[in-house]
A and B are shown apart, each in its own frame.
Chain A
């Protein structure tokens, strides 16, 4: 059974701080997604990774396939970054027919 663990569950930081959110998974995957969910439910896809590193603005996502681990970094954090960040993976088993497996999310609050 594929399990996705995120840490920390909750994170409160001051504006400007460098933020790191971690995601570990237990099986071989074909892709890993980082998602952002704001209050009210809307989810936005931030990154889709299968290897290496991606950067978009102040957000950086990395993945280590051998260690089954990914990190999401936010540089120069801002109160508008406050949201729940969710990691989701697509297993290689079953041809991906099991869909995405999601972590429980990291609730991030950036204080001014």
Chain B
């Protein structure tokens, strides 16, 4: 079975542009979560979706939005890009949420904002 896949792997944008990142979870996984990792830091939680509903949102501005589709894949959108949005964006999927949650991470999308 394929693992969690993210696309694109690398992306270069300029300030003010908009970007869409995509994530396909492991087959059968209904939860997808998104994280931002700035170089040298631990990841920071952005969003979690379970069964197509938003289950949680981290401390990120409204420029960040996401959605989950009927096939459980997900998109993360970032509008009006800032230099500080340059980071590795990680997606993780899990079968469920909570105490028995085991996370499977994708390889990430490296976003550079110039």
Contact = CB atoms under 8 A, between A and B. Distances in A.
Interface stretch (B11-19, B20-28, B36-44, B62-70): B36-44
A31 B101 contact: yes
Interface centre among B43, B97, B103 (most CB of A within 10 A): B43
B74 interface: no
Interface string A37-64: 0001111110010100000000000000
A42 to B, nearest CB: 5
> What band does the interface of chain B fall in when counting residues whose beta carbon is under 8 Å from A?
20 to 34
Interface in B74-114: 88, 90, 92, 97-105, 107-108, 110
A79 B58 CA distance: 36
A43 B4 CA distance: 11
A100 to B, nearest CB: 5
Nearest to B55: A97
B103 A99 contact: no
> What band does the interface of chain A fall in when counting residues whose beta carbon is under 8 Å from B?
20 to 34
A48 B56 contact: no
A99 B101 contact: no
Given A97-B48, A102-B42, 18 more contacts: A4-B42, A33-B103, A35-B103, A42-B108, A43-B105, A48-B101, A50-B99, A86-B42, A86-B43, A90-B98, A99-B46, A99-B47, A100-B33, A101-B45, A102-B35, A102-B45, A103-B42, A105-B41
Interface of B: 33, 35, 37, 40-48, 55-58, 88, 90, 92, 97-105, 107-108, 110
Interface of A: 4, 30-31, 33, 35, 40-45, 48, 50, 86, 88, 90, 94, 96-105
